[in-house]
Amino acid sequence: MSTATDPDHYLDQGAARVRKSAYLSPELYSAEMERIFDKTWLYVAHASEIPNPGDYKTTTMAGRPVVVSRTREGTIAIVQNRCRHRGASVCQAPTGNARFFRCEYHGWTYKNSGELVGVTFPDGYEKIDKSTLGLLTIPRIEVYRDFVFASFNSEVQPLEDHLAGAKEFLDLFIDSGGGRPLVAAHGTQQLTYPGNWKLQLENGCDGYHPNFAHRSFFRVVGSRLHDDSSGSYLGGRSTAKARSLGNGHAILDQRQSVGDHYEKRALLAPDSEQIVEQLAEEVSDDERTRLIAESVHLGFNLTIFPNLQLIGVHIREIVPKSATETVVKYTPMTIDGVPSGINELRLRSHELFYSAAGFGVPDDSEMFRRVSSGLDTDEEWLLLYRGAHRVEGDENAAESHVTDELPQRAEWLHWASLMQEEKA
């Protein structure tokens, strides 16, 4: 194994320091796609995005374009978005409905489940076996409570084993509907930033940055709510915790420290007062309080390694494009069957912080740009040792203060373990 792809070259002192080239090297990026994204489970879709036969969405797995479809039989199929003839993509739209995909280059036609069903001007071929020329399929697909995961590795471990300690919090996110299903009925926004995919991975459970990177947001919230402590639930004296959950998964757990902050914050959304008044006539006081607070946030940020984060009321999918370019997709989830006002609050609260015109996402994207710029200097190492002296438990099932860099070290250590698997 060359130094350029050896994980030991990039980490020091148990991931307390990370070499800057870990965020820059094209050779390392290619190795990550082969050893991590080709080998483990990747989040690809929520089942509610493709509820009907023929529905599809396009995304990327380990750099390969794929189409996730609902077949005629109601099952989920994932195929590589590449005609088997001359390589053109067969599906161009990000979402839609189609029973068949027809390559517009030479007209070869496939079922949405991948089988080749039509070859134009077939007499030009002495012999062609359509059964061997279907779209390439993804060998492993598992659906966990409507979350669709897939892997190129036919020998990958069972999905629930992969989820490890993250499963508990994935269940909490799913159960936030109070027995009603979560649905992705309002589209997905997409952002591209000029930086490595691991910057977003680290950021999702970074409890150190909000009071600084998002200072303007907390000032606005504090002013509107007449509360100058609006960001204290993530501050240095907070009782919130950062936890590692095994297999590179991590969580920022603010549930015991946030108090009624999220309930108050929901009232910043447009038309919130009228919505709350309407809810008083439709649900119990306790249910109304819970639904209003959870329309902003469930009290935890969850990272499921390597490409899924659940934050606020949205699903965040990390899509690496190159060593220095990353796409992030944000899909807000609404609740089927609740009073419409609740879903209105969920969407408006999501837009306030996580939309392209909101407070949080532009802040984070700017920080990713600044980090990427800073990597061009002579300093070799980035430091991730905050809180290393006060971790309780093993790094793979540990707890520390919310501002500590335990989640980032856990992510990097799991990264290293996967990158090591093919080390000679």
- With cut-offs at 50, 70 and 90, classify the pLDDT of residue 278: confident
The single residue listed with the structure tokens 């996110």 is 173
Confirm whether 327 is domain-assigned.
Answer: yes
Exposure string of 368-398, with b = 16+ CB inside 10 Å and e = fewer, is beebbeebeeeeeebebbbbbeebeeebbeb
Residue 272 lies in a domain: yes
Are 189 and 311 found together in one domain?
A: yes
Query: Each residue of 353-397: pLDDT tens digit?
Result: 999 888 999 999 999 999 999 999 999 999 999 999 999 998 678
pLDDT of 229 reads 63
**pLDDT digit string, tens, across residues 60-93:** 999 999 999 999 999 999 999 999 999 999 999 9
CATH number for the domain harbouring residue 87: 2.102.10.10
Last residue of a domain, one of 114, 148, 182: 148
Query: Among the residues of 127-233, which ranges form H helices?
Result: 159-163, 166-175, 197-203, 210-213, 215-225
Tell me the pLDDT of the chain averaged across its residues: 93
| Residue 231 and residue 344 in one domain | yes
Same domain, 102 and 220: no
Q: How confident is the model at residue 226 (pLDDT cuts 50, 70, 90)?
A: confident
Q: Which residues have CB under 8 Å from 123's CB, separation 6+?
A: none
Q: Compute the average pLDDT of residues 400-404.
A: 96
Same domain, 122 and 268: no
Does position 240 have pLDDT exceeding 70, yes or no? yes
Q: Do 91 and 203 fall into the same domain?
A: no
Q: In this structure, are 254 and 364 located in the same domain? A: yes
Place of tokens 């819970």: 290
Calculate what percentage of the chain has a pLDDT beyond 90. 77
Confidence of residue 268 (pLDDT cuts 50, 70, 90): confident
**Structure confidence at residue 140 (pLDDT):** 98
96 in a structural domain: yes
Position 231 scores a pLDDT of 59
381-390 pLDDT, tens digit each: 999 999 999 9
* pLDDT for position 230: 59
Residue 7 lies inside a defined structural domain of this protein: no
- State the first-to-last Cα distance of the chain, in angstroms, to the nearest integer: 6
Would 19 be classed as within a structural domain? no
411 part of a folded domain: yes
Structural domain ending residue among the three candidates 97, 113, 148: 148
CATH of the domain at 193: 3.90.380.10
CA dist., res. 395 & res. 233, Å (int) = 24
Which ranges of 47-109 would DSSP assign to H, the alpha helix? none
The helix (run of H) or strand (run of E) holding residue 55 is: strand 55-61
Amino acid at 73: E
The answer to whether residues 319 and 329 touch, using CB atoms and an 8 Å cutoff, is yes
Which residues, other chains included, contact 4 with Cβ-Cβ below 8 Å and sequence gap of 6+? Answer: 25, 27, 28, 31
Q: Based on the fold, state whether residues 233 and 336 are members of the same structural domain.
A: yes
Residues 360 and 220 in one domain: yes
Domain boundary among 100, 115, 148: 148
Do 82 and 46 reside in the same domain of the chain?
Answer: yes
Q: Which amino acid is at 255?
A: R
pTM above threshold 0.85: yes
Q: How far apart are CA 288 and CA 267, in angstroms?
A: 13
In a domain, 29, yes or no: no
Structural domain harbouring 109: 42-148
Within a domain: residue 335?
A: yes
Angle between helices 360-374 and 340-354 (to 10 degrees): 30
Considering the domain architecture, whether residues 174 and 227 belong to the same structural domain is answered as yes
Q: How confident is the model at residue 422 (pLDDT cuts 50, 70, 90)?
A: low
Model pLDDT for residues 91-119, shown as the tens digit of each residue: 999 999 999 999 999 999 999 999 999 99
CA gap 144, 239 in Å, rounded: 32
| Residue 222 shares a structural domain with residue 102 | no
Residue 104: both structure tokens together: 């517009």
288 and 240, same domain (yes or no): yes
Going by the DSSP 8-state scheme, the letter that residue 147 receives in this structure is E
Q: How many domains does the chain have?
A: 2
- Distance from C-alpha of 242 to C-alpha of 287, rounded to nearest angstrom: 28
